[in-house]
Structure 1
């Protein structure tokens, strides 16, 4: 069984609905990385059983990321500032 990770601000509800509609056994839990103290900042982890190509295809549609996935998302990089940065007077 593999895991699908979501950042704390992302919502896996649509993926969970889609997986359950396809007949997968789905569970959601919060899991923190080393050093995280605030439980609200923990990532959401979705597990689906059985884990197969159908799950991977739905992850591509509804978001999330798979550990070890080397593919880059289809999101353009953020823009650069229009002018130089200025420091505040102290």
Structure 2
């Protein structure tokens, strides 16, 4: 079982509702990353049983992410076309 991380508890709650309606068991908790002092910055971690391909499909739809997931986001990030000058 791999943890699924969320920045917002609303996104996690939506996925929990969808998964539980399909018969999955879920557990949601907060977890801080190394160096985080503020509890409000801790990520929401969702554990799902059974953990299968259906769960992985749904993670992207509800805005979650998994450690080691090297897939590119569905929508590419809008990056500037060139460097910006801050001073003249």
Q: TM-score range by the shorter chain?
A: 0.7 to 0.9
Q: Does the C-alpha gap of structure 1 residues 5 and 37 become closer, same or farther in structure 2, counting only changes over 3 Å?
A: same
Q: How many residues align?
A: 88
The TM-score with structure 1 as length reference comes to: 0.82
CA separation of 1:9 and 1:75: change in aligned 2, threshold 3 A = farther
What is the CA distance between 1:8 and its match in structure 2?
Answer: 4.7
Matches of 1:85 and 1:9, distance apart in 2: 38
Relative to the length of structure 2, the TM-score reads 0.83
Q: Which has the larger radius of gyration?
A: 1
CA distance in 2, matches of 1:63, 1:19: 14
**Residue of structure 2 in register with 1:21 after alignment:** 21
Q: Find out whether 1:80 has 2:47 as its counterpart.
A: no
Segments of 5+ residues of structure 1 without an aligned counterpart are none
SS of structure 2 residue aligned to 1:37: coil
